[in-house]
Structure 1
Amino acid sequence: MKTSHQAYRPDIDGLRAVAILPVVLFHIGFPGFFGGFVGVDVFFVISGYLITGIIVRELRQGTFSIADFYRRRVLRIFPALFVMLLVVSVLAALVMLPAELLRYGKSVAATTLFSSNILFYSESGYFAPDSHTKALLHTWSLAVEEQFYLFWPLILMALSTSRQTAIRWGAVIITVVSLGWSVWLLKHDATATFYLIPTRAWELMAGALVAIFPGLPANRRWLREVLAALGLLMILVAIKFYNDSVPFPGAAALLPCVGAAAIILAGSGGNSLVGRLLSWQPAVFIGKISFSLYLWHWPVIVFTQIGLLREQTWTVKVIELLASFVLGTLSWRYVERPFRHVSAAVPNRQVLGRAGVAIALGLVVGLLYVVPQGWPQRFNEQQLAAARYETYDGDHEYRGGTCFVVGDNQKFDAAQCLQTRSGSPNLLFIGDSHAAHLWPGLQAEAGAAGINVLQATHTGCRPAIADLAQPKGACQKFVSQIVTEWLPAHPVDVVVLAGRWTRADLPGLPKVIAAARQHAKRVVVVGPIQQYVSALPRFLVRASSNQQQAAAQGLASGPFALDPQLREVAVGAGAQYFSLIGALCAQRSCKVTVDNGVPLQFDYGHLTVEGSRYVVGLMMPVLDGRKPVDTVASVPAANGPRP
């Protein structure tokens, strides 16, 4: 059977550079790369092409050995991976909180067994631990690849004994079934679609198809040029225009995957302008170090946040990028390359045996962190009390799954959450999780004042829409339906708009305020709450004496700059404005604990139940109408007594 995989192709290393750079820049947070996650999909296509080409050619020649195949995989993956695991495991023991180190131990074991994608899927959820505390989160893609290569060589071996077309038909069937499953499951369980092999296999198969099928008439120069140019354009469009609002992978993954396959196919027939561009030496070098760069870039980001507790300023981003490249280059030069050129005289038995030892050691390291429950002995009782909030269940406390929709697959229970009551004031609050975290306080404080509280909250859905008549996406449709359909039929006394506001919300906020004012006596906009570069409990644990001062060093600057701008827009549109920053912070020193040392917030910004009651207590004079327009409560000191 013909295969296009025959010789080294520098353009494929260049394509690796096109894959890895957007991933790294996206994770670090450089603007313009919000779709950089598609680089992983490009990697899948490249891997499927190269590995399938090798296997098919060796099967045709009668030289394929499953032991040789896994020997190559071990020498390619294990050395760089396990060196990274060793270094990261030491750092984890130094800086992670007990619950984090416990989870890390599980992830080490799962990564060692190439099943971390399954583990991270099981840990998913809106208030699941912050991804920036999971130093091995990026290994999910390695797990997908290695799971694929457990069964794909065996399938090829079985099909190669049949007719010549059996491999082609088998590959097509697997691709179609996996893609169809991905499209279907995305509507029912998007997280499973993202992490698990059945819905990702088709991306590796896209590359496999290019290796298996005879090349198109790519000897024609114009066809190669068109294929390569369109392929690169498809990848770049996905990188530029995709973001976290695009349902992914599913059908959306076709754009980068087909693009990568087109570039590979074009290069199989000869050179092209894109091929020469990808063969540029700097691009080829980045492609060569791409595996090590991928392994190291995420731990660099994670430990910058949870170890150094640094805000993602431009300076920090550039340093993270440079550090990732330095570590990736060193790993490639001194770990990857030497092991990839291990002499053929070293028997497979020895190579695979040492791989087994490495796996056993990885499991031992994982158990060393899991069995003692994350080594809590590293901290005193006061620190442990604060650290326990790192596992806080915000979903449950905010009525997740009913009045707080966590993910697009959940249904909002309007009958329970929007039940008005005659004879008492009705207050409706709308927004994302930064609105939902007001629920415990509103239930207690407003409920005690005789106010009926109605909740319409959805993750990521800030109540600011530029065009209410034509909302885009599930979030805007959710907010628009509440404001333009439900509210006119059920007028209320007070509408509260809250969210994790951004500058992008400023143009759309007046539209929602205007619509709400038509069917409510008053509209109150709640400003941004103070946010931290890492979870607040982490700063409380690290504090040697003054917790407030320690936390002040980790305050994110964005909310402080946005607060006066949001006030101006809200008041200009006729709403009342309550500044959480004005109420909770004196200059850059903010309240951090309530009620016997309970943290005000359990992560970067969401309120604990006690924190919610405290905050809503400050808001009540505005919510019940005792305070005039644009007045905020104040505290004499950030941690002073409640007024």
Structure 2
Amino acid sequence: MTVEAPSTPATQPVPDPPGSSGASGASSSALRTRAARGAVKPEIQALRAVAVLLVLAYHVAPKGLPGGYVGVDVFFVISGFLITAHIVKPLRRGTFTVGGFYARRAVRLLPASLLVLAVTLAGTWLFVPRSLWPQFGRQIAASALYVENWLLAGNATDYSAPAADVSPVQHFWSLSAEEQFYLAWPALLVVGSLVAARWHRWRRAYLAVLVPLALASLTWSVVATAGEPASAYFITTTRAWEFAAGGILWLVVHRAATLPDPARAAASWAGAGLIALSAFAFSSRTPFPGWAAAVPVLGAVLVLAAGLPRARWSPSGLMGWAPVQAVGDMSYSLYLWHWPLIVLLPYVVGAQLGLQGRVVAVLVAVPLAYLTRRFVEIPVLDAYRPTSGAFWRRKSTVGLAVAAGMVLVAVPAFAMNTTVRHEQVAAWDALDSVVASPPECFGAAAVDDTACTDGPADAVFPAPLIGDQDDFGRIHAGCQVGGDTVTATPCTFGAPDGTVKIALVGDSHAAQWQPALAAVAEQRGWQLTTYLRSGCPVTAAPPQDRSAACRAWEKDVIDTVADADFDYVFTSALSATRYGGGDGGVAGFVDAWTRMAGSGARVVALRDNPDPTQAGVESTPACVEDRSAAACGTPQDVSLLPDPQVTAVERTPGAALVDLTGYFCQDGTCPAVIGDVLVYHQDQHVTMTYMKTLAPMLSAAIDEAVGPVSAS
């Protein structure tokens, strides 16, 4: 999973955080001077620096810091803390206006974000294959309108969402959540001010509004995370309590200032420890946000509450260190720039970014962040004075400028999406037409027919623009499950009353065989039942990088198939999958197959296809679109990985192997296009169109592997 953290204003004064009276070490005088100038308190800037560095480290090396995404939670707490102050203070003075608040937020946040979006839009147009324009354009438009989080939440229910949602602006989900927080927070605090007018105890009045909200949001976060974790991660309602935690802290933080310095120093270190613990202990398998988010949230609260204690062993000196403060100052721009660079640079250089490449991308983001801070954020903030009568400083002018900027980004992004969508419709019509009446040398048939030419095709089917959509999991939604599904979900194809009953089980690399196997079943009058789950091969091997839901689903499939009356069980799995146990997963397949064959079924393993990504071709449709079919083929000795199923077949009594590698690779090369048909989509998956052309070859290979098939 990929996450980001928004940053909040770095130049506006904040309300009396605790411990602002001093710091340890030689930096104490500088810190007090900084605070006296009205800058954001050093401990807040230090906390921002920690949060943004967590996010950057997570994106550069997610395996090294698997929970670095908690930086977003730290930022949310800071935002709630600061924005509550920016609203409550003028409310108590009687000077708060909704228009003024939104104008200041817009002036602070939008110039830099719209600049990054505009540059990203231009980079997409210049370097990204057109097949990805709808995906990128849709998300750029959603980010410009600050609804990216809800777009991602809606897509998260699709099994392919993690791949489909990767874009250079995916990190704007958290900025969207923050902007939505800005919409609701003034109204809630105005209600608090009305209560305060009656109670005459203003802190308690605001707490009476914020505490129930926080509890309700936390409850919803726990419930939603348990039910729909993929979408719960992004939606504002599951995150509101984190903002509220910061707001509640501001209302009660004055009490922390009365604590002795040793206690505050201990609290500060404890808060830092909780943040570090969650960054290293959490991972993509941690149900999040839910209860788990309370760990980094509590850590951020403790650091803010502790302020800058004077104890010599406190972290105050480290917080005030100039590099830490510098990172905190430009954390917002650094956050904005780093992810577009990580995503777009591979298209610019024509190669996947490894660890070193991602480090370079972040290093490039640093000067861009500095320049954006220096020449965009600060000048715009300095130029805007709400009390000035100049028309360009009026709230109405700010509103028009904001609307114009959002439109100037969103409209071209929508146009990019719409234009290619129309072309995709035409590509589908062309594909349907050729599939309805295929030529003799179409797809895999070209391998067997020596009369077929090997020259480059005038047209490729499916066209690269729709290559990633030519996918069983998309077209038969619900038959390839994902998320938290733990039960075997059957789909039936072929002859409903067929006397020969076969099953297809496994991950997406098993699912991709469905078009060919279904065609065989229809031709022979078999009944085909599928049990398929993305990223989840059916094996009893010790799990590695597999969720608890995946393991539960695997067990249920094995038990279901073992108790059913299948004649044959077909299975396949991604060869690159990592298994525990030290034998590459062989024993796990043998165990699972033996159990599934317990009712008399015979297991037939389908050898996995080549993996173009092993040879550096991350997207075959994009490669064919940008270069040529001939340039996108890969060496067989690189892209065809050893398949543990081959060895497992040798060790499993009665199991058989179907190996159609000859229809993917010839003469040491695995082409991207065979017989005018695009072979791969989404990394290393085989298109439905090419799989359908393999049906006659699969039918013959089944007979060769197991003999004439008859009902048991």
2:572 — aligned with what? 497
Matches within 5 A, 1:213-224: 213-217=252-256, 219-224=259-264
- TM-score, with normalisation over the residues of structure 1? 0.84
- Aligned 8 A contact 2:127 2:348 in 1: yes
2:17 — aligned with what? 4
Q: Alignment partner for residue 642 of structure 2, among 564, 579, 585?
A: 564
- Aligned 8 A contact 1:215 1:268 in 2: no
Instruction: Please tell me the residue identity of whatever aligns with 2:482.
Output: V
2:406 — aligned with what? 362
Cα distance change on mapping 1:346 and 1:586 into 2, 3 Å = farther
Give distance in 1, aligned partners of 2:168 and 2:637: 22
Instruction: Please tell me the residue identity of whatever aligns with 1:547.
Output: A
**What SS does the corresponding residue of 2:685 show, helix, strand or coil?**
coil
Matches within 5 A, 1:80-479: 80-98=112-130, 100-124=132-156, 125-128=158-161, 130-131=163-164, 134-162=167-195, 163=199, 164=202, 165-217=204-256, 219-267=259-307, 273-342=314-383, 344=385, 346=388, 350-351=392-393, 352=395, 353-371=397-415, 374-375=418-419, 382=459, 386-390=463-467, 392=469, 394=471, 399-401=476-478, 403-408=479-484, 412-414=488-490, 416=492, 423-424=499-500, 426-445=501-520, 447-449=522-524, 452-467=527-542, 473-479=548-554
Shift of 1:67: 3.7
Instruction: Please tell me the residue identity of whatever aligns with 1:194.
Output: Y
Cα distance change on mapping 1:623 and 1:307 into 2, 3 Å = farther
Shift of 1:295: 0.8
- Aligned 8 A contact 1:310 1:316 in 2: no
Cα distance change on mapping 1:612 and 1:156 into 2, 3 Å = same
Instruction: Please tell me the residue identity of whatever aligns with 2:205.
Output: A
Larger Rg: 2
Give distance in 2, aligned partners of 1:228 and 1:384: 60
Instruction: Please tell me the residue identity of whatever aligns with 1:313.
Output: G
Give distance in 2, aligned partners of 1:161 and 1:391: 55
CA displacement, residues 323-364 of structure 1 (integer Å, 9 cap, x when unaligned): 222322322232223333336365596344145224224314
2:611 — aligned with what? 530
- TM-score, with normalisation over the residues of structure 2? 0.76
Give distance in 2, aligned partners of 1:210 and 1:268: 16
Cα distance change on mapping 1:454 and 1:388 into 2, 3 Å = same
CA displacement, residues 165-222 of structure 1 (integer Å, 9 cap, x when unaligned): 1101111011111111122223443344222222221111121111112445562344
Shift of 1:499: 3.2
Instruction: Please tell me the residue identity of whatever aligns with 2:73.
Output: D
- Aligned 8 A contact 2:494 2:521 in 1: no
**What SS does the corresponding residue of 2:307 show, helix, strand or coil?**
helix
Give distance in 1, aligned partners of 2:119 and 2:111: 13
Cα distance change on mapping 1:486 and 1:383 into 2, 3 Å = closer
Cα distance change on mapping 1:250 and 1:55 into 2, 3 Å = same
Q: Alignment partner for residue 626 of structure 2, among 535, 538, 542?
A: 542
- Aligned 8 A contact 2:256 2:306 in 1: no
Give distance in 1, aligned partners of 2:568 and 2:232: 43
1:611 aligns with 2:624: no
Give distance in 2, aligned partners of 1:99 and 1:49: 43
Q: Alignment partner for residue 481 of structure 1, among 553, 556, 563?
A: 556
- Aligned 8 A contact 1:182 1:250 in 2: yes
**What SS does the corresponding residue of 1:137 show, helix, strand or coil?**
coil
- Aligned 8 A contact 2:470 2:689 in 1: no
1:598 aligns with 2:637: no
- Aligned 8 A contact 1:293 1:328 in 2: yes
**What SS does the corresponding residue of 2:686 show, helix, strand or coil?**
coil
Give distance in 2, aligned partners of 1:537 and 1:217: 58
Shift of 1:292: 0.8
- Aligned 8 A contact 1:11 1:276 in 2: no
Give distance in 1, aligned partners of 2:703 and 2:475: 22
- Aligned 8 A contact 2:503 2:529 in 1: yes
Cα distance change on mapping 1:385 and 1:525 into 2, 3 Å = closer
Shift of 1:416: 4.9
Q: Alignment partner for residue 37 of structure 1, among 57, 69, 77?
A: 69
- Aligned 8 A contact 1:600 1:607 in 2: yes
Matches within 5 A, 1:5-20: 7=35, 8-20=40-52
Give distance in 2, aligned partners of 1:502 and 1:519: 21
- Aligned 8 A contact 2:486 2:549 in 1: no
- Aligned 8 A contact 2:46 2:324 in 1: yes
2:31 — aligned with what? none
Give distance in 2, aligned partners of 1:611 and 1:589: 17
Cα distance change on mapping 1:556 and 1:81 into 2, 3 Å = farther
Give distance in 1, aligned partners of 2:505 and 2:110: 49
**What SS does the corresponding residue of 2:503 show, helix, strand or coil?**
strand
Give distance in 1, aligned partners of 2:689 and 2:515: 8
CA displacement, residues 472-505 of structure 1 (integer Å, 9 cap, x when unaligned): 6110010012224541554653442313632345
What's the % identity of the aligned pairs? 27
- Aligned 8 A contact 1:540 1:551 in 2: no
Shift of 1:89: 1.9
Moved more, 38-47 or 380-389: 380-389
Cα RMSD over matched residues?
3.8
- Aligned 8 A contact 2:507 2:534 in 1: yes
CA displacement, residues 52-101 of structure 1 (integer Å, 9 cap, x when unaligned): 13322333344434344223312321221121122122222223455643
Moved more, 335-344 or 269-278: 269-278
